[in-house]
Structure 1
C-alpha cells in the first residue's frame, strides 16, 4: 500500500511538470488587476512657467514634442488665422496619400493670379513630382504648389479641406477649421481658424513622419527644369535653420537668427493672421515645438520662438521611460495557438522632467486589463497599460499596451490550457510520464521479486536449521 501511494504522488508530480512545460499551469503574475484609468500623458515634473519669457505674439505655446507636455502657453486656445502654417497639414496629408516620385500636372485652378501671395510660378500643364511640389510649398510657401497637391488628391480644394479637418482631429486638434490648403486669405474673406495649441499638436504629429522632417529641415532645394519652366532654386523662409549673418534681439541679447538644433517647421503671414511661426528645435533627446501667432513683425516671430526654446531647454528635458514598437512584456493567452502574446506600446513613452531630476527615479510596470485574454488576438489590440511611476509611487505617465503580434485560435487541447505550439512539450511530457511509470513499475516488480527471494531463502534456512537440529538430537533431548 505504501509503495502504491508513492507511485501516485510521483505520477501527479510528473503530470504537473508536463503541464507547466506545456504552458497550461496558471500564471498568477499575469493576473494583476489594472490599478488606474488610462490617460495619454501626465507630466512627472512640476511645470511652472512663472519665469517664462514675454513674447510679442498674441498667442503662443511651447510643447515637449515627445510627451506633449505644455511648458508655457499664452492665449493658446484662442482661435486665430494660421496663414501659411496651414501647409503643415497639407504636407502631412500629401505624404500619407501620394508617392514622392509621382508626377502631377498643374491644373488651371492652382495657377496663382498676379499679386495673390507667395508662389513658385507654376504654369498650367506643367509637370512636377510630388517631392518637388512639397519642397516648393514648405520652403518658399508656394500657394500654387499647395493647391496643386490638394486638387491632385481630392479633385477640389473644398473636398481636400474635409480631409484636413478629419486629419487635424486625429492629431488631437480640438478647435480647428480648414477651408483652404494654402492658408491664403484676404481681408473680409473666410479663412482657416485654429489655435496655437492645435498647431503644436498638428506639428507634433507631422514631425513623426521622416519625409516631413527632411523637408522642413532643408535650408535650400533646387527644382530642375520642367517641361515649362527653367530650374528653380528655393530658400526656406525659416531663417533659424541657416541665417548666421543677420541678427535679432532675443530676451535683451543680440544674436544670429540661426538657432543650433533647429529642425523645422513653417512660417506664415497674411494681413489677417499677422506674422506667425511654428518652429521646432532639438537638443540631445529633447525636441520642443514653439508657436507664435500674430507677432509684431516678421523678425519678432522668430525672436518669440527662440526665447521660448531657450526657456524650455534650460528648465526641462525629455526622458524615454519605454521604447515604442518593441516587445516589453508577455501576457498569457488562453485557447490560442500560442500560450503567450508579446505586448508593447505604439510610440515611445516620453516624460518631461525638470532639469536636474534623476530619471532613475522613474519606474515602469506592465499591467494587464481585467479578465483572461482569449484567442484570437489581433496585432494592435489593447491588452493593458504601461504605467510609469515616480519615486513616491505616483503614476506620471500611462500608455496603452497593445499586442505586438496576432495569435490565432488554437486546437482542441488549447481549451484545457495547452497551446498548439506547446503540444510537442505536452506529448514529450506524457512520454516522459509513461517511461517513468514503466521504470517505477520495473523497480517495484524487481523489489517484490527480491523480497520473495529473501522469504524463500529464509524459509529454506529455517527448514535446514530444523533438519540440522533434528539430526543432532534425534531423541529431542
Structure 2
C-alpha cells in the first residue's frame, strides 16, 4: 500500500474521530403528551415530560383495582357475576357464572376487562362499588399519589377522576414489590375459560415481544380525549426501569417507550452509593471514639460519568450516650442528588461500648456473676450471726446469774 493511500486513510480516521457524537435524548423527538422514566430502586425520575399533568386514569384504575383486590382478598375465592357487572364491555362475562378472583385479575390486567373490574369491585366492596373506590383512594393516599383521584374501578370517563404519568410510575414501583401483582403484571398470556368457551388472553402491551428485557406491562385506552397509555417495566444488567407513555397513537406509545428504555439503560448506571461495613464517619461519645458504618449496601441510579451528588450532610444522634451497641442508630448520612432525590442512610457503631463502671455497678456485676457463691456466703454469714447472738445471750445469762449469787 502506497504512502499516499495510508496518509489518506489516517486523515479520514482523524476527521471522523474529531466529529462530535451527539447521543439521542428523549426531549429531541418525543411526540407523546406525557411521559416518565423512573428507576425502581428509589423512584428516581430519569426523564419526564408533563409527568404531573392530570390525565384520563383508564390504565391507572385497572392497576389500582388489581392491587387493592390482591391486598384484600383470597385469589382462590369465587366471584359470582352480577347483572350489573355483566352489563359492562370486556370479556362477555355471564350473569350467575362464577370465576376465581385470580382469573378476573388476569382479565383486568391483560385486556380492557371492564366487566371483570366491576365484578372484583363488587366482591371486595361487599356489593358496594363506592366502598371499593374508597379503598382505591385510601391506597392512593397511603402511596402519596398526589395527582390521582378515583371515581370508578374501570377507568371509564368521569370528569372528576384523574391521574398523572408520575403517579402511575409510583404505583407500579410500590405494586411490583407485591409478588402476586408482579407475576400478573408480568404475564404475557393466560388461559381463559368462559363457560364452555376457552381462549388465550394475550397481554395488549406488545413490547413483551419486541423489546429485550420487558418483564411487566399493560396498555390502557382513553376516550376523552382519545389516546393510549402504555405502562411497561424492563430489566437489563440487574437494573429495572418503569416507563409510562401517553400518546394518541398506540404504535408511537410503544416505540417511544422503547426509546426511553434505550436512553435509560445506556445513559444511567445503578451502583452502590454507600457500601456496607465501611466506616463513613467517626464520632466521640463520652470520650470514646466510634466508627460508624451502614449495615447494608445502599444503591442509587446516576448518569454515566457523573456522581450526581449535590450535597452530603451528617446528622449525629445527639441523644446517644454510653452504653452503645451495634443496633443503635448513631447518626444519619443524608445525600441530596442533583434531581433533588434525598437518600438517608442509617449509620451504626462498629462495636459495643459499655458505660463507665462505678463501685455500685461493679458490686452488682460481681454479685450477678457469682450468684451461687454469694448465696452460700450469705447463708454462712447468717449462721455466724445466729451463733454470735446465741453466745452473747449465754454470756449475758451467766453474768446475770453471777450477780444474783453475789
Q: TM-score, normalised by structure 2?
A: 0.67
Q: Distance in 2 between matches of 1:95 and 1:366?
A: 40
Given candidates 169, 175, 184, the residue that maps to 1:215 is: 184
Given candidates 322, 332, 353, the residue that maps to 1:385 is: 332
- Residue 254 of structure 2 corresponds to residue 276 of structure 1: no
Given candidates 113, 122, 125, the residue that maps to 1:154 is: 125
1:215-234 residue pairs with structure 2 within 5 A? 215-223=184-192, 225=193, 228-234=195-201
Q: Distance in 2 between matches of 1:143 and 1:373?
A: 59
- Residue 169 of structure 2 corresponds to residue 190 of structure 1: no
Q: Distance in 2 between matches of 1:271 and 1:237?
A: 17
Q: What are structure 1's unaligned runs of at least 5 residues?
A: 1-47, 243-257, 330-342, 404-413, 436-477
Q: Distance in 2 between matches of 1:383 and 1:164?
A: 39
Does the 8 Å CA contact 1:67/1:318 hold for their aligned counterparts? no
Does the 8 Å CA contact 2:26/2:260 hold for their aligned counterparts? no
| 3-state SS, counterpart of residue 282 of structure 1 | strand
Given candidates 244, 249, 263, the residue that maps to 1:311 is: 263
Does the 8 Å CA contact 2:298/2:345 hold for their aligned counterparts? no
1:127-142 residue pairs with structure 2 within 5 A? 127-142=98-113
Go from structure 1 to structure 2 and tell me whether the alpha carbon gap of 1:396 and 1:151 turns closer, same or farther (over 3 Å shift): closer
Go from structure 1 to structure 2 and tell me whether the alpha carbon gap of 1:229 and 1:296 turns closer, same or farther (over 3 Å shift): same
**Which string of whole-angstrom CA distances, capped at 9 and with x for unpartnered residues, describes residues 271-325 of structure 1?**
21511111111112211111112x131111111211111111111022254699x
Go from structure 1 to structure 2 and tell me whether the alpha carbon gap of 1:86 and 1:111 turns closer, same or farther (over 3 Å shift): same
Q: Distance in 2 between matches of 1:323 and 1:101?
A: 43
> Which residue number corresponds to residue 204 of structure 1?
173
Go from structure 1 to structure 2 and tell me whether the alpha carbon gap of 1:426 and 1:208 turns closer, same or farther (over 3 Å shift): same
| 3-state SS, counterpart of residue 310 of structure 1 | helix
> Which residue number corresponds to residue 261 of structure 1?
213
Does the 8 Å CA contact 2:65/2:121 hold for their aligned counterparts? yes
Q: Compute the displacement of 1:201 (Å).
A: 0.9
RMSD: 4.3
Q: Distance in 2 between matches of 1:399 and 1:102?
A: 41
Given candidates 383, 398, 403, the residue that maps to 2:343 is: 398
**Which string of whole-angstrom CA distances, capped at 9 and with x for unpartnered residues, describes residues 146-172 of structure 1?**
111111111322221111112112223
Q: Distance in 1 between matches of 2:62 and 2:203?
A: 14
Go from structure 1 to structure 2 and tell me whether the alpha carbon gap of 1:87 and 1:388 turns closer, same or farther (over 3 Å shift): same
> Which residue number corresponds to residue 369 of structure 1?
317
Higher relative contact order (CA 8 A, sep 6+): 1
Q: Compute the displacement of 1:388 (Å).
A: 5.2
**Which string of whole-angstrom CA distances, capped at 9 and with x for unpartnered residues, describes residues 323-343 of structure 1?**
99x9x99xxxxxxxxxxxxx9
Go from structure 1 to structure 2 and tell me whether the alpha carbon gap of 1:125 and 1:311 turns closer, same or farther (over 3 Å shift): same
